[in-house]
Amino acid sequence: MDITSIKSVLHNLSKNILPSRFETAQQPESNTIQLCFRGVDFHFWLEVSWHGESPRILKIKKPEKIGRESTLSKQIRYGLKYMALISIQQDNFERVIKFGFAKKPGDEISKYLIFELMGKHSNIFYLDKRKKIIAVGKQLNPNQSSFRTISTGSIYSEPPINLKKKPTKNESYKSWKQSISTVSESLRNCLINTYQGVSPILTKQLEVFSNLSGTEIMNKNIDCISESNLKEIFKS
């Protein structure tokens, strides 16, 4: 899931499950958790996976009950029992989703579930109100990561800062072209490597919306693309 699809899913979730009561959790696979929320007249099942090949968050039908419990699902289920999901946050172009829980709507957030859906670096965190890690999908010691250590009992820290440019509607064509033309490579790679929030599927959509899909413009070297075609991509 890229940032576009994540924002779409979260928009839908915020409309449909805020606020709601946490019901239960189960873990069908080592890198996937299923969460159930209850509203006045609905049950809502959510599946979150931090699998490196297919990290995702989506609504699912009621799954089969898992007989054997995992430690992670036990900790989440007992820790969030009777608590209310009162906030869903996701900032800018980061694929980091924060669920905030309180004893009841209107109270201060006292527990968090954080989902980092960032390819091979994806993970899930269960935190207390001080952001201390109670449980985590996968732990990382200093030998495995030079950016941050992830272990139960430590304080949660945000992922490393994304150094790519943030897209803005106010940027001029001249500035945009200059930014993506730093390295001579395919237009697809120029866009992905320059701007936050740009995924391979989004570049394909830009190609289609610009009526240039027949030219396979995204595969062309940026130095070989006409000014008029580049302006159509910029406009899209």
Helix ranges restricted to H, the chain: 3-17, 71-79, 173-180, 187-194, 200-209, 227-235
* For residue 230, pLDDT beyond 90: yes
The residue ranking higher by pLDDT, 159 or 67, is 159
Cβ pair 32, 45 in contact under 8 A:
no
pTM to 2 decimal places: 0.89
Cβ pair 32, 47 in contact under 8 A:
yes
Of 115, 91, 121, 95, give the one whose Cα is nearest residue 5.
95
The torsion angles phi and psi of 102, rounded to 5 degrees, stand at -135, 170
3-state secondary structure (DSSP) of residue 68 = coil
Confidence of residue 53 (pLDDT cuts 50, 70, 90): very high
Average pLDDT of the chain, as a whole number = 93
pLDDT tens string 188-211: 999 999 999 999 999 999 999 999
Task: Report the C-alpha gap between 74 and 60 in whole angstroms.
Answer: 20
Averaged pLDDT, 48-72: 92
Given this model, what pLDDT does residue 150 score? Answer: 81
Task: Report the C-alpha gap between 24 and 213 in whole angstroms.
Answer: 46
Task: Report the C-alpha gap between 187 and 180 in whole angstroms.
Answer: 8
Region at 149 (left for phi over 0; alpha for psi -120 to 50; beta for the rest): beta
Of 53, 51, 67, give the one whose Cα is nearest residue 138.
51
